[in-house]
Chain A
Amino acid sequence: MSKLHVSTTVNGDSVEFLCDPRETLLDCLRDKLNLTGAKEGCGTGDCGACSVTVDGRLVCSCLMLGVEADGKDIATVEGMADGEELHPLQQKFIEYAALQCGICTPGVLVAAKALLEKNPNPTEEEARYWLAGNLCRCTGYDKIIRAVMDTAADMREAS
């Protein structure tokens, strides 16, 4: 099967790649662009470890084809920090020990960032339901939810 040419923007950079029409956006990010921050935990859109945003919308990159990224604006965990400056969520996750093994962390961070952009003042229940698509097997979510809620409070204060 011949490959297709895709031009897209990832974390603000213009990129191009050739992909098989069967390859997912996740495959392309990882295998063609060496952006391995997004992880494949299930390949069926159930675990959220591959979470990215496409034109600002939160998606599982394992459920989207690479060819569908053409002309879109993709954001991954690698683009969250501003140079040396970590995003407040990243900082707070370290401070709260909100990660143990760290495999779900990139997806959780991308999803939490999307939540706070949409709703800067979520209730605990809203945060829990928003993040229900991101499986974490290590933490029981307690420290993750606390880190997200506290980041939201800090960001509201700062803005």
Chain B
Amino acid sequence: MALDDQKSVFKFVGTRPDRPDGLDKVTGRAKFGADAYAAGMLHGAILRSPHAHARIVKIDASKAEAHPDVKAVVTRADFSDKVEFKPGLAGEFWNVLENVMAGEKALYDGHAVAAVAATSALAARDALKLIEVEYEVLPHVTDVDKAMVADAPVIREGASDYSVPEGLHPNVVRYHESGHGDVEAGFGEADLVIEDSFTTEATHQGYIEPHACLASLGGDGKGELWCTTQGHWIAQKTCAALLGIETAQLRVTASEIGGGFGGKTTVFIEPVALALSRKANRPVKIVMSRSEVFRATGPTSSASMDIKIGMKKDGTITAAEGIFRLQGGAFPGAPGDMTAMCAFAPYDLTNVRQVGYDVMANRPKQAAYRAPGAPMGAFAVESVLDELCNQLGLDPLDVRLKNAAHDGSKASYGPTYDQIGLVKTLEEAKAHPHYSAPLKPGQGRGISCGFWFNHGGETSVSLALSGDGSAQLMVGTPDIGGSRASMALMAAEVLGIPYENIRVTVADTATLGYNDVSHGSRVTYASGLATIKAAKHAVEKLCERAATKWGIPVDAVKWEDGCAVPSGPNAGDFDPLPLADITANMGATGGPISGHFEATPEGAGVSFGTHIVDAEVDPETGKTAITRYTVIQDAGKAIHPAYVEGQYQGGAAQGIGWALNEEYIYGEDGRLQNSIFLDYRIPVASDLPMIDTVIVEVPNPGHPFGVRGVGETGIVPPLAAIANAVSNAAGVRMRDLPMSPPRILAALKSGDG
């Protein structure tokens, strides 16, 4: 799409109206996953392995089945036996099935092994104690580096795909290598080469709403599923495969969703509830406890990384190399490839090479978490850049500006960048008062850049006009953070009717075509693009009706400010015909007027951000306080700026948690030791300062209004920016996350992070 065609003057887009679902969400009226009930409903509960790795010798459920309150018990035998195992991600349905209900082995602490449906939630929980499972405990491994060594326990033979070079441990299941130039020659040209190693621990998406669903599946193979999900079509497709029923026979309705951040892009309890319902022939509700969420849903990957970067005295990067090992639980899927591809993406490099490993261990199956893989790589790379700047006495922003990727740069992962906004974010950072504000003693400042690809994905949208001139818009992407508002703004912009006259509904799987998950920062981009095109489709029909009424050719009619008008003086002299005047008679002038759009848009437009952080380290306790935080990020075009700011602030806050507090802690026994919010501490209001935002707008040529996704990039820079701030404040380089008080104290004591 040429930029000339792009709209740049807006009436509705860029304003900050109240969100359409605001009233429901401040009054308690909005229905989330656990808020659904059905007549005759049973409650499901899931029995989980206490072992990190164990062969399931025998499951005896006879006592549970004999209990009068228990109406069904299911194990792996109650799911489809037609789901095929394949290496890597080729057999993802099998991987999901194996995760939602263990087969021959329990693969991590918390792995589901059986489930019951009973007449109350308490009865279901009690019934779990009646199921006897005989385990043969096997050696386990939870650390990524240990999982790759020769004598590590093998999680599953044959899971490695074609990409893995020979000679690696069977736990290495996917391998990625990319880059360009000659890194060895590049290191030879450098005045200073720094080589260092870094680790990050697994963190959880930490959405406040646990997974919840209400399922009904009859003997006729027809089912209904209500669940909290980022994508109900993928839930439909996956559940149908796992239950061995036809996809179209299962109708899935997405509830309001209480946070996802990537963690609700797959299924966990939904197939189990359907299997229980089929067996009991009654609706079954399952709601996870917080502990189940931590133990058995997707955290992010843990990572171990080696970085080598060469720099000249003037700050020019001569070569960069990174090795990224990501552990993603007992299944393929850790985004080592994404980490590798994103790590050096902000820079215009002559010589770059990156390697990514996807490694299995006895932990829960990782799930996407906001720019999956990117924050870890940025942490490692941007820490080394900071150290190079420190040792060469260079300003870290100037060095990034000097090396920044720009329009036409060849990206570290291959393609050539179109119009991008990184330089603009760096210039805004340099001009921002935060960057030149004086620091108090004990404080340090850190900066970092961050990159994320963004995604398009399969998208369907329908828009139907009503007789009174109002419009109903049906989208298929669950509204996680105010997307109904941005959809209505874009539709209003095209139709020229007030924002308030548009009702946006997240349609169920039976009433709209396939929609990819709300992920990849794709909703405002892809559903937005489809909304604009569906509205334009309706406008074409409105213009046709006006043309017929006026007796002039349709190309002599144009749409302006909510009315059909003659396109020029030669078209004739007619008064503007408002939308409501056309729809009032639409039944008699050709029938209902709707607009549709279905496509897989490819022009998502990459996104960059730059963060500035001030941190203060207490040398006595090792506790870090974030004293000032500024996010600068390219949004392409901010449709509803308040919710764009919200994405920036939320990404930064999650990054602060990841950097300072959050981690999965495993004992020697392979059991997760901190599976409640008291012990897995996410940032609370008193931990954080206000988070300032600067919205940069460098239009994305791939969207009619210039939108780039904004959801994910905001979590990429914080780990590194905070680590740089803390390292500068403490005077020691911090190489391992989280930078918890004991770890900082140890670093201060030894003089080395």
Contacts and interface: CB of A to CB of B under 8 A. Distances in A.
A76 B28 contact: yes
B678 A22 contact: no
15 contacts: A36-B32, A37-B27, A37-B28, A77-B26, A78-B27, A97-B19, A102-B21, A105-B25, A106-B26, A134-B684, A136-B208, A137-B207, A137-B259, A138-B650, A140-B652
Interface string B21-38: 111011111111011010
B653 interface: yes
B18 interface: yes
Contacts of A133: 684
B217 to A, nearest CB: 23
A109 B26 contact: yes
Given A30-B34, A137-B654, 9 more contacts: A34-B37, A40-B287, A93-B26, A94-B26, A103-B258, A132-B684, A136-B685, A137-B208, A142-B690
B28 A35 contact: yes
Nearest to B258: A103
Interface string A23-34: 100010011001
B16 A39 contact: no
Contact of B685 (A76, A78, A90, A141): A141
Interface in B239-292: 256-261, 287, 289-290
B330 to A, nearest CB: 26
Contacts of A135: 208, 677, 682, 684
Interface in A102-152: 102-106, 109, 125, 127-129, 131-146
Contacts of B120: 20
A109 B35 CA distance: 19
Contacts of B150: none
B678 A44 contact: yes
Given A44-B290, A138-B259, A141-B685, A39 B32 contact: yes
A109 to B, nearest CB: 6
Contacts of B258: 39, 41, 101-104
Given A100-B481, A104-B208, A129-B686, A38 B646 contact: no
Given A140-B688, A142-B691, A100 B482 contact: yes
Of A102, A104, A109, the most chain B CB neighbours within 10 A belong to A102
B686 A128 contact: yes
Interface residues of B, number: 60
Contacts of B690: 142, 145-146
A120 to B, nearest CB: 19
Contact of A106 (B28, B122, B682): B28
Interface residues of A, number: 61
B36 to A, nearest CB: 9
Given A39-B258, A139-B649, A44 B25 contact: no
Interface string B206-221: 1111100000000000
A95 B23 CA distance: 11
B19 A41 contact: no
Contacts of B688: 128, 140-142
A109 B688 CA distance: 19
Nearest to A79: B28
